[in-house]
Structure 1
Amino acid sequence: MEILLWLVPSVVLTGAAMLWVSWVSRDGRGEVDRDVAVERLGKALARDLPAGARRTAAPARDRSTGIAVRPSHAPGADGTTRRAS
């Protein structure tokens, strides 16, 4: 347990930094008028997306059973099947 004492300063410093950041950022946000927020949201929703950012429907995936199956024979170059002898 004594070997963990070297962690105490870093834990205390991290905790103090978290408390300081939460205290400092508490007053920095300010209040936004509800009507202004609704207007901004309406403008953002009405805007068209750039062509590259449009989402399309996801392609249908093949249903996989999770088992890899090899064909028992492969077609030859002329289209005929070739069997192992």
Structure 2
Amino acid sequence: MEILLWLVPSVVVTVVAMLWVAWAGREGRGEVDREVAVRRLASALEPDPTRRRRPAPGYAAPRASRDRSTGVAVRPSRRAS
């Protein structure tokens, strides 16, 4: 049990930090006006005209199929001479 005593300082610091953060953040950021919030949401949802539009992904070329790796290295068999 004595070997666990070295954990006490870190536990105390962690608990104090948790209590400080809970106390400091209890008031929050305050009330936001509903109209301001709606305006911010609308501007965030509108497309940005300065942003270049990306073309839709095309599927003209088939994707190359890769061999699935099983995680086991297998040597090729030797030819019988």
Indicate whether the TM-score tops 0.5: yes
In structure 2, how many angstroms separate the alpha carbons of the residues matched to 1:58 and 1:4? 58
Q: Which amino acid aligns with 1:29?
A: R
Segments of 5+ residues of structure 1 without an aligned counterpart are: 68-85
In structure 1, how many angstroms separate the alpha carbons of the residues matched to 2:19 and 2:12? 11
Aligned to 1:31: 31
Segments of 5+ residues of structure 2 without an aligned counterpart are: 70-81
In structure 1, how many angstroms separate the alpha carbons of the residues matched to 2:54 and 2:19? 41
Aligned to 1:40: 40
Q: What is the Cα-based RMSD across aligned positions, in Å?
A: 2.8
In structure 2, how many angstroms separate the alpha carbons of the residues matched to 1:18 and 1:55? 45
Q: How does 1:1-85 map to 2 (within 5 A)?
A: 1-48=1-48, 50-51=51-52, 62-67=64-69
> Per residue, is there more strand in 1 or in 2?
1
Aligned to 1:71: none
Count of aligned positions: 65
Percentage of matched positions with identical amino acids: 60
Per-residue CA deviation, residues 25-79 of structure 1 (Å, 9 max, x unaligned), is 222411112222111110121141633xx66666775454505xxxxxxxxxxxx
TM-score using structure 2 length: 0.58
Greater relative contact order (CA < 8 Å, ≥ 6 in sequence): 1
1:9 Cα deviation after fit: 1.4
